[in-house]
Amino acid sequence: MKLPIAVFAVSMALTAAQQKTTAEALFREALVKERAEGNLPEAIFLYERLIAEFSGDRRFVSQAMYQLALIYEKQSDPRAKTLLKRLSHEYGEVEPFGARAREKLARQANAPVAGFPETVLEASYELGSPDGRFVVYHKRGEDYGRLYVKELATRKERLLVDNPGSNVGSLAWSPDSASIAYSFNEPKAKANEIRTVQLATGAITNLGVRGFPQAWTETDEIYFYRPNYPAGGTDFSLAPAKGGSPRKVYFDPSGSGCNPVITPDATRVVACKDKKLFVVNLGTQEARPLTVGAGEEFRQQISADGRLVAFAANPDGNWALYLAPLNGDLPVKRPLLLANIPEPGGTWSGGDARCWWTRDGLLTYGMMYGESNVYRVEMDPKTGRSLDTPRRLTQDAPLNFTGAISPDTKSIAYWFMNGAKRGLAVMDSSGASERPLYQQGVILDVSWRSPEEILFHRDAKPREGEKSAIYALNIRTGCHQSSENVVF
């Protein structure tokens, strides 16, 4: 009589193991469909199937619910909130997904709703006119000395500046949309001359000033910058659009690449310091923080009437576009959410595309995304040739670097970047169980001392004559300590 009981117990154990394996396989397949292939309908089907068929596997069901809620959230589907509530109530103890669901629900309860329509413009457009009628741009593969203008309503295009062999850049529209300021550079001329061109006639004026235009103010001055050699930093000045001596209005010592933008009345700039935005009074040089939010802020753009500033930020670790008033009390406690940025992290940039804001309220941001992932390829040791196509392993962050395989080949250590978070992570060699181990801002060499210990450089600046410290980190316990006399 005991034998059937023993057999029954083993059968139950095997069934549970098979169920767990199947739930995990379904989740991994859904994640690949969602992130690697971009096939959202298929990913949604797989996540929903996992939730329906494997309710007993609380870990993968809660993870599937969270991923599905994120998809619905990006699609403005009300099912996102339903799933978050269910995850919070029924699987609230499953970490970290229960806590993430509660945090999202709390933020949604406090955040204002923004229903702003979005559209996509041609990627080549670099800067739109304040009246919204025209765009200017260079053509891919052509000489950068040729600048084109297009009237959006008629789609009529014409060549506005034609200087083969030169460089025409740093564009700025006049407030009346009648002229454009730009920097001109060619081998035989003085570098980076500021010039203007009239849209109607094509007449060009050389201001006799060197620099890179950023804006054309309502005071009929061109706001431009020029690196301060050899002292370092960047000078920002205003030059009369009709010609005359420029006047310096602001100095940025950081050289961070986050150029201060000026208000149309030329009285203030919104500048970046330590990855946060500040509003600076140009008369007194008094600086006040724009917001009280955490995280990073940059890509600021001021509205044509000077009342609002739009900017990119990641207060919760995910990048989005926000809007804050400039004429009220600073800092702003609750900026308005304009739009979520599909790819989190500091992985996007404008490239040649500039931000612009028309007088009728059309705000344009140029974005260009990039990813870096760790892949696995099965190889034939006899021939050295691959046996299949590369299979993406990393899924949790958009940027992953310098993968290092453990001595027993069971684990992979790598650096990741996800919004404001970056550091050292580890996963199984199959790509399962991705998990961060140690947060660090600088990506340095990483290696293995044993199947359980990673060796890496700490980003702390060493003293003069010393090398940067090498630390050993245990992937099982998370403990790390200084490792002496290690050959790296």
271 within 8 A of 252, measured Cβ to Cβ: yes
DSSP assignment of 436-449, as one string?
EEEE-SS---EEEE
Q: What is the pLDDT of residue 13?
A: 35
The pLDDT value recorded for residue 111 is 60
pLDDT reported for residue 20: 42
Position 404 scores a pLDDT of 92
For residue 255, which of 232, 271, 236, 286 has the smallest C-alpha distance?
Answer: 232
Sign of torsion over alpha carbons 293, 319, 286, 254: positive
Cα distance between residue 222 and residue 173, in whole Å: 10
Name the β-bridge partners of 194: 183
Residue of 58, 2, 60 lying closest to 30 (CA atoms): 60
Give CA angle at 448 (444, 449), nearest 5°. 125
Q: Give yes or no for a contact between 183 and 226, defined as CB atoms under 8 angstroms apart.
A: no
Given the structure tokens 């991705």, which residue do they identify?
434
C-alpha to C-alpha distance for 49 and 91, rounded to whole angstroms: 17
The pair of structure tokens assigned to 222 is 């061109």
Tokens of 177: 């949309």
Give the whole-angstrom CA distance, residue 412 versus residue 376.
11
pLDDT at 35: 84
Q: What is the pLDDT of residue 237?
A: 96
* Percentages (nearest 5) of helix, strand, coil residues in the chain: 20, 35, 45
The amino acid at 326: L
411 in Cβ contact with 396 (< 8 Å)? no
- 15 phi/psi in degrees, rounded to 5: -60, -45
Q: What is the pLDDT of residue 462?
A: 57
Total Cβ atoms within 10 A of residue 395: 18
Instruction: Determine the Cα–Cα distance for residues 296 and 255; give it in Å rounded to an integer.
Output: 16
Length of the chain (residues):
488
- pLDDT at position 464, please? 63
CA end-to-end distance (rounded Å), the chain:
62
Q: Is the pTM of this model over 0.85?
A: no
By the 8 A CB rule, do 310 and 338 touch?
yes
Domains of the chain, earliest start first: 19-110 (1.25.40), 127-369 (2.120.10.30), 375-482 (2.120.10.30)
Residue matched to tokens 């068929």: 53
Q: In what side-by-side order are the strands of the sheet with 193-198?
A: 167-173, 179-185, 193-198, 204-210
Long-range own/partner contacts, residues 74-79 (CB < 8 A, 24 or more apart): 74/340, 74/342
Task: Give how far Cα 9 sits from Cα of 4, 21, 248, Å.
Answer: 9, 19, 82
Instruction: Give the per-residue pLDDT at 352.
Output: 45
Q: Output the tens digit of pLDDT for each of the chain's 488 residues.
A: 333 333 333 333 334 444 445 888 899 999 888 888 888 888 888 998 898 888 889 999 999 999 999 988 877 677 888 889 899 889 989 888 988 999 888 877 766 555 567 777 787 889 999 999 999 999 988 888 999 999 988 999 999 999 888 999 999 999 999 999 999 998 776 678 999 999 999 999 999 999 999 999 999 999 999 988 777 789 999 999 999 999 999 998 876 667 899 999 999 999 999 889 999 999 999 999 999 977 889 889 999 999 999 998 888 767 788 999 998 889 999 899 888 776 544 444 444 457 899 998 889 887 766 778 899 888 888 888 877 778 888 887 878 888 899 999 999 999 988 766 788 999 999 888 888 888 887 777 889 999 999 988 776 555 565 566 788 888 887 777 766 544 44
Name the residue among 175, 126, 119, 178 with its Cα closest to residue 147: 126
CB 410 within 8 A of CB 451: yes
Per DSSP (E only), the strands in 190-318 are 193-198, 204-210, 212-216, 221-227, 234-240, 247-252, 261-262, 268-273, 276-281, 287-289, 297-302, 308-313
